[in-house]
Amino acid sequence: MQLIKRFTKGSLLLTAAVLVSGCSIFGDDDEEPKFAVLQPISEQVQAKVLWDASVGSGIGEHFSRLNPVVEYGKVFAADRNGIVSAFDKSTGERLWRIDLRQRIRFDEATDEGWFSGLFASPFPARISGGLVAQYNRVFLGTENGDVVALDAETGDLVWHTEVNNEVMSDPAVGEGRVVVHTGGGKVISLDAETGEEQWEYEYQTPMLTVRGASAPAIISGGVVVGDSNGSGMVLIADSGQQAWSQPIGKPSGSTELERLADVDARPATQGTTLYMVAFNGELVALELMSGEVRWKRDYKAFENMLVTSGRIFLTDVNSHVYSLDQSGGIERWSNTELFGRKLSAPAWHRGNIVVGDFDGYLHWLDSETGNIVGRYEVGGDGVYVAPVVDNNIMYVQTRDGDIIALDTQSGNE
């Protein structure tokens, strides 16, 4: 899986890396196992599959944060090539399916197709950003530089906008706008109704970065973004002007690799507190309106955090799982039993924390102790994004495109 990218004169040179497969991210892994072998557990949680379905061919070994989304009584999911489907969330019945490679709409004036060239069949659409459901639409982005809005009821194409930069994270949708953060260091706001560009903010990216870009968040008239230089910022939603910026990760070390400080995880908020974490930096709690630092702790992560019930749950670059207090960042527990298994971001399910791994296993951790209390193999060449939970039902997407709805036979409410 490609995790690192290098910018050279505007072009990308992708470098394969196995940064998260060892005990120490920069250490010599010849002397230590690269990942944990699963050990027997005292099983207190037993999973049961409610339904399963398939959406295309999945994402394969490509880097992607393409996730399912549950809204309007449906589960929306997509594969990298361009297949987008909607399923009944209770039964798994397929309600509609479209192939974006075949949705070519021509401009009568220019006789040019929206999805011409590389976006036309049989080439992949390279969907990697989204999905997000809002305003009775489903929004997504592609590595080809497209932002697309689909009708949530029918799958019909509503609008398509080219932003000329890779979109590798979820768009932020709200306050009548769709905001994307591209891999090339651009934050772009589009009108949610028409797709028309409203403004663009651009920052200078370093030569070497973690592949990906943090998903932006629209909060109280501002757009919160973490950048590839290790900073968090708020842009004014109406204009794109920067309101404040604050260092989250500070580049350090003698090599470019050691100096990676990207903020790739989605910002999380609770009240007036903003939480951000850097790949090679710190977990920081900020005052939302001013950017003032309330507290900071040494954690390195690029997966999204889970902020709920007075706690922060996160998986770090080594696939260690942590629980901290929101108020002061005091660590409650840590679990290192799954090191190197390329864990997904955590999800909350019936009082437990759930993470998926590269081998297709789901792991339930007790939210109070961090002990592993359940395990279930869904396969599918691995779970790469956090499960989505709606009304206590958990929906999982695997690398090969399986969509699985699960619940547990026991567990804490």
Of the segments 25-34, 175-184, 207-216, 250-259, which one has the largest average pLDDT value? 175-184
Residue type, 326: Q
DSSP state of 383: B
**CA 376 – CA 387 distance, rounded (Å):** 13
Mean pLDDT for the stretch of residues 255-282 = 84
b/e burial code for range 318-347 (CB count within 10 A of at least 16 → b) = bbbbbbbebeebeeebebebbbbbbbbbbb
Predicted pLDDT at 15: 32
- Please state, in angstroms and rounded to a whole number, the distance separating the CA atoms of residues 226 and 246: 10
**Alpha-carbon distances, residue 67 vs 129, 138, 266, 385, 398 (angstroms):** 8, 12, 14, 6, 10
pLDDT for residue 413 is more than 80: no
Q: Which of 298, 301, 271, 299 is nearest to 287 (CA)?
A: 271
Mean pLDDT value across residues 396-412: 88
* Segment 164-181, tens digit of pLDDT: 999 999 999 999 999 999
SS3 23: coil
Which is nearest to 412 in space by CA: 378, 371, 384? 371
- Distance of CA 162 to CAs 119, 182, 192, 368, Å? 11, 12, 14, 46
Q: How far apart are CA 21 and CA 249, in angstroms?
A: 22
* Strand ranges, E, within 152-292: 157-162, 172-174, 177-181, 186-191, 197-202, 208-210, 217-219, 222-226, 231-236, 242-247, 268-270, 273-277, 283-287
CA distance 393 to 247: 38
Contact 326, 274 (CB under 8 A): no
The label of the residue with tokens 């992560």 reads 301
Single out the residue of 210, 85, 224 nearest to residue 154, CA to CA. 85
Q: What is the pLDDT of residue 63?
A: 84
Strands (DSSP E) contained in 1-136 are 2-8, 11-16, 47-54, 69-71, 74-78, 83-88, 94-99, 106-107, 112-113, 127-134
**Arithmetic mean of pLDDT over the chain:** 87
For 345, the 3-state DSSP assignment is coil
Q: What is the mean pLDDT of residues 231-236?
A: 96
Number of residues that make up the chain:
413
Tens-digit pLDDT profile for residues 183-203: 899 999 999 999 999 999 999
Longest dimension (CA), the chain: 67
If pLDDT is split at 50, 70 and 90, which confidence band does 21 have? very low
195 against 105, higher pLDDT? 195
CB 177 within 8 A of CB 236: no
Q: Is the pLDDT of residue 255 over 80?
A: no
Q: Which residues contact 198 (CB under 8 A, 6 or more apart)?
A: 177, 189, 190, 191, 240
Q: pLDDT tens-digit profile of 50-100?
A: 999 999 999 998 888 899 999 999 999 999 999 999 999 999 999 999 999
- Looking up tokens 């591209």 gives 182
* Identity of residue 402: D
Confidence grade of residue 279 (pLDDT, cut at 50, 70, 90): confident
Give the model's pLDDT for residue 256. Answer: 66
What residues contact residue 260 under an 8 Å CB cut-off, 6+ apart? 4, 208, 209, 210, 251, 279, 280
pLDDT tens by residue, 115-124? 544 455 456 7
* Region of poorest pLDDT, from 1-15, 112-126, 285-299: 1-15
The one-letter code for the residue type at 176 is: G
- Res 18: pLDDT: 34
pLDDT at res. 250: 74
